[in-house]
Amino acid sequence: MRTVNARRMQQHACLADALREAAGTAPTGHVRRRVFIVGCPRSGTTLLQSLLHAHRQIRSLPETHFLPLLLGSEEHRRCDADRPRAPVARLRRWRRDLFARWSLVEPRRAARAWSFLRSLELPAHMPGQGRWRLGPQLRAFVHTLDAHALAMHKPIWVEKTPDHLFYIDHLSAAVDDARFIHVQREGRQVVGSLYRAAREHPGWRPFLSLEKCVDRWETAWRESERWRGDARHLHVSHDALVRAPGETLARVLAFLGCDADDTLWSRYRSMANGLIRADEPWKAGNLQPLRARDAFGDVLDASQRDWVESALATRAASRTVAHAPASTATRLTHTGIRVPHA
């Protein structure tokens, strides 16, 4: 077992080096596979998690939000118009970015992240040494999930926090054998589902802005596409999962090196209850029979649907012309659109 050299870790402030140094000391035990499900919220990540959790070899747990809590990053949630401009807010953002760049963790944030893990009844113990360093924090996090899975006699664990999509570099460096499953859903349906959650649940109120909904989906989509083609990443369509669940799940299980388990279909809905916290009523749909839902058509009125389709088309055009000649890009991106009132 290789021992971490504290002096070397101090010299290597680069994030990837620090994380790999910490990961080198993590015992693998009998955990065969470590899996992270990521994506945009309201894209079907909980549905896939519920199905995998019902497999006889797999253990999952409620969302841990570990890295967002640990690093305090919320940049991926914001539209450009919401980014901090006041001097104090910009200073806080600069400080947070500096900590992340040098692989440092604020003890206050670390205590909050570990307290949340303990609230999930996990065997969570914050590292006593190196608690200022991101590497030891992630190593202890992986140990916690390993211990949880092994206590349940499961060789594979699945952690599902959609926002961990934005921390894949951190997780890949810390967990050499990690696998990532990206759940992707058509933009209009995600926007409709986010907007419905905002109307029904106070915690989702920022998404009463359709612009925020579109921006949130677009940001996640772009980030997921960065990893397409990487052997450690699998992209799963929500539409395929709902319309052809058997075939789609078989592809996921093959990616994880798992045998088929036909019995999971009869128990996944009852087991899904254990993955949903009491303060997450918006996930209740995962306890219902598997079927396609039209969040876009059911939730938004005609003017809102027209605006969303126009906004998504404009975003798609921006992606298409990213490498086009300057004159073409200018002509396509000078179109303005107005946001209808919610």
pLDDT at residue 305, as a whole number = 96
DSSP state of 289: P
Q: What is the pTM of this model?
A: 0.82
pLDDT at residue 73, as a whole number = 64
User: Can you read off the two tokens belonging to residue 204?
Assistant: 């989702």
pLDDT at residue 8, as a whole number = 37
pLDDT at residue 29, as a whole number = 54
pLDDT at residue 20, as a whole number = 42
pLDDT at residue 11, as a whole number = 35
Burial of residue 151 (number of CB atoms within 10 Å: 0-12, 13-18, 19+): exposed
pLDDT at residue 328, as a whole number = 38
Chunked mean pLDDT (size 10), the chain, 342 residues: 40 38 46 96 95 96 93 58 64 69 81 94 84 88 95 96 93 91 97 96 93 95 96 97 95 95 89 87 81 90 96 86 45 37 44
DSSP state of 236: E
Structural domains in the chain, sorted by start = 6-296 (3.40.50.300), 301-342 (no CATH)
pLDDT at residue 112, as a whole number = 92
pLDDT at residue 286, as a whole number = 77
Following DSSP, what letter does each residue of 10-43 receive, concatenated? Answer: HH--SHHHHHHHHHTT---TT--EEEEEEE-TTS
d(CA 223, CA 166): 7
pLDDT at residue 174, as a whole number = 87
d(CA 297, CA 233): 31
Nearest-CA neighbor of 65 among 149, 143, 164?
A: 164
Cβ-based neighbour number of residue 74 at 10 Å: 12
- Tell me the CA end-to-end span of the chain in Å, nearest whole number: 58
d(CA 194, CA 65): 19
